[in-house]
Structure 1
Amino acid sequence: MTATGISACNDRPAFSFEVYPPKSVAAASALTRTIDHLAAAGPEFISVTYGANGSSRTSSLDVLRYIKDHTTADAMAHLTCVGSSHAEASRLIREFLDAGIRSFLAIRGDAPQGAAEGDTTFLGDLHSAGELVQLIHRVQAERVPYIETVIPGLPAARGLKTERSRVRIGVAAFPNGHPNSRSVAQDIDTLLAKQAAGANLAITQLFFHADDYLSFIQKARSAGVLFPILPGIMPVTSPNRLRRILQLSGEKLPAALSIALEVEPTEEGQRQIGIDYAVRLGQDVLAGGAPGLHLYAFNQHETVLSVLEGCGALPVPATMP
């Protein structure tokens, strides 16, 4: 484990993955195989998305339990502020903690389509990721207020240890600005507020140019953000996927990638273009000092593992004597 709290092995960069809950029995079976492949690569963690208003609560927890019980990867649960009361959010956090989950990604969540600008009624009792971070810490503190320890030389005596098991809480960062933000300074102030609330990791929204990430990191560090900020990278393997990503994220069109995908006639050729682009992006941010890579896997392992291989993050297979 490095000083930043992100692991690295033999100078290979650390990495992590995101998957989403399956929507059918067949998809669930396929996802367990994908998780097995992803976990075998040695990620720092595998995060599992969670639908607003509990729309994927059970299936998310099932996936998290599979990761925890069948792999050596840390399982990270997503939590959002959307539609939850304090009591409901507390119950969900406790449920995850009781299942052995010790890593969370706390995000505010997006407004539903058609919501008026500035309308926050969809959020419920929690109005920011910082409030959700604080609630996770509070529930953990209430759940395990102390630990009994044996006093050396006095076998029958017990002492009280107030230190609790560490909870990793990640938050979102926006290299190109949150859609509702007025400036980069506001985005960084928001990140500082999340840090003050107890967050100890950030994962960025998608970006397509290394300078976007590296410039944001420089400004965040200058402002006092201390925790690791992982670059979120998604291999874009088709023009349709690129259009969908841009629609959801609001990112600007990456012209070179878009043109290359549009003129390539074969699916395999498009897939390789997406992999190569993600490899170059990963290499550039790592060279600029990124503490690792966070890859959005789309519940498939082949593409993201190819990206990691290109970035030199995967272990080299042992050769036979």
Structure 2
Amino acid sequence: MSIDLSAPPVPISFEVYPPRSEAAWPKLHQTIQRLATVNPRFISVTYGAGGTTGGRSLELLSHILNETNVEPLAHLTCVGSTYETTNALIREFLDAGIGSFLALRGDPPPGVSEDDQFLGDLESAAQLVQLIDRVQAERTPYREEPVPGVPGAARVARRDNIDIAVAAFPNGHPRSRYANEHIDALLAKQAAGATLAITQLFFHADDYLSFVQRSRAAGVTIPILPGIMPVTTPARLRRTIELSGEPMPAELSVALEVEPTPEGQQQIGIAHASALVREVLAGGAPGIHLYAFNNHDTVLAVLRDAGVTTDG
């Protein structure tokens, strides 16, 4: 199955993560079923650095593949891994029927710093994209197809392409050494075979729209999906800022801090995210990717509030 970002209505996708306890699986399965009701183009499943959640990721991906009509998209990270282990993991996912990936460099495993001499055989997400593409090519059996209008003639049939998404950073990567390094990195991922980019979170529509404009001017042609995260508590906002390095969105921060009730904070977060959805779609975004935090209620409310869906 190929990820189609051209067919109406507005393409939607979600990100979830493997639960950390067995008791959480049934609830997540319910969430997957609810997310599937709005016909997302894909649901992506995160993957722990250094292979910490490989088995759980595959279990969740297989559930999406077998229990819904939604395309599962597997996150893969390469930092701290060897060619051998990464190659084997890609093959394991492909053998299980998973044909879409999000190729990420990832963060070093616990106890390993960026300054350590060995961070793995693969140095970048672009190299991981190339490896995924090469593994798929090696696994695809040689096939011939007839040449139209030439009786008895045959040619090598095209292999089915897999979708390889990559990350994009509207406000620059935290490790960028110069202003446009994140755009140069996106160009390298595209050249390596990436078919789609998904942005990390942002809090202002202009961050995404101006990034897309600059990327297009630099030669990026693949679709760039806006990744939107509904933030519904002050604690989650602080944690998100800490992990992402994004500037604190002052208006959202103040609104969440002064609202005393969880219900009110929830509505503030939904309203902020739905406004982002409307603005980026008006600016030409090819779809919407929502970080769901393994909860369907908030992201489905965002889509309804934005007028993208009427059900869910």
For this structure pair, what is the TM-score category when the shorter chain's length is used for normalisation?
Answer: over 0.9
Partner of 2:90: 93
Partner of 1:294: 289
- Whether contact under 8 Å (2:147, 2:155) holds in the other structure is no
C-alpha distance in 2 between matches for 1:122 and 1:211: 38
- Whether contact under 8 Å (1:201, 1:229) holds in the other structure is yes
What is the aligned counterpart of 2:271 among 259, 276, 281?
Answer: 276
User: For 2:174, what is the secondary structure of its paired residue?
Assistant: coil
Q: More deviation in 301-310 or 104-113?
A: 104-113
Shift of 1:186: 1.3
Matches within 5 A, 1:99-110: 99-110=96-107
Partner of 1:55: 52
Question: What do residues 299-318 of structure 1 show as CA deviations (whole Å, max 9, x unaligned)?
Answer: 0001000111122222569x
Shift of 1:119: 2.0
- Whether contact under 8 Å (2:172, 2:180) holds in the other structure is no
Identity among equivalent pairs (%)? 61
C-alpha distance in 2 between matches for 1:246 and 1:264: 19
What is the aligned counterpart of 1:127 among 119, 123, 127?
Answer: 123
Shift of 1:146: 1.9
Q: Which runs of 5+ in 2 are unaligned?
A: none
Following TM superposition, the consecutive aligned residue runs of length 4 or more in structure 1 with deviations greater than 6 angstroms are none
Matches within 5 A, 1:160-175: 161-175=156-170
Aligned letter for 1:26? A
Number of residue pairs matched?
Answer: 309
User: For 2:12, what is the secondary structure of its paired residue?
Assistant: strand
- Whether contact under 8 Å (2:13, 2:290) holds in the other structure is yes
With over 3 angstroms needed to count, the CA separation of the structure-2 counterparts of 1:120 and 1:180, relative to structure 1, is farther
- Whether contact under 8 Å (2:145, 2:157) holds in the other structure is no
Aligned letter for 1:28? W
Partner of 2:245: 250
Shift of 1:163: 1.2
Matches within 5 A, 1:128-147: 128-147=124-143
> What TM-score, normalized by structure 1, do the two folds share?
0.91
What is the root-mean-square deviation in Å for CA atoms of aligned residues?
2.3
Aligned letter for 1:244? R
Instruction: Tell whether 2:280 aligns with 1:285.
Output: yes
User: For 1:123, what is the secondary structure of its paired residue?
Assistant: coil
Q: Which runs of 5+ in 1 are unaligned?
A: none
- Whether contact under 8 Å (1:14, 1:291) holds in the other structure is yes
